[in-house]
Structure 1
Amino acid sequence: MKCAVSDFDRTLYVNGAVSERNIEAVKQWQRKGNLFFIATGRNLASIKEQLGFFDLEPDGLILNNGAAIMDKEGKLLLCRIIEKKQLLKYSGFFMN
């Protein structure tokens, strides 16, 4: 078993669509017993909305630039939360 990971925006999803060629390539990969993940800076709601338009079922999602990882059933496998103390420490950096 192998695992392939693809970025979503401007990699898999180009010009408002996921091409049929890419969808078929992912399905063929999965039929061979391999895993396919999408990695994105998007949050769960945003990526699920987009995936709803295409016949594509990834085996997992890497969301929020790696802060969360979910399996295909929606089970949260990893979640990294920024502690409030850390956020406040650097908040001036982002507000300048």
Structure 2
Amino acid sequence: RQIRGKGAGLRTHVLIGMGSALFMIVSKYGFADVLSLDHVGLDPSRIAAQVVTGVGFIGAGNILVRNQNIVGLTTAADIWVTAAIGMVIGRGMYELGIYG
């Protein structure tokens, strides 16, 4: 895809969406047993924050400057939105993920 000048493909978008959804599911349900303990303080929402950071890093890797032209900005935005949709669906907000 890089040689042809194409952005991220369907497989990449599916993997990013699935990965984001899985991180949100783990964030929501993965620490239920630990959160019930009085002496342990966790913030599961930090996983979601790190997904946003990591996907931003992946998107930044797609942005290039060639001959004073910016290439890959739309692909980076696509990846970012795909991750957001995956996070919303992973959180259980299906209507927002499908129609939003």
Task: Report TM bin, short chain.
Answer: 0.3 to 0.5
More strand by share: 1
TM-score by length of 1: 0.33
* Greater RCO (Cα-Cα under 8 Å, separation 6 or more): 2
TM-score by length of 2: 0.32
More helix by share: 2
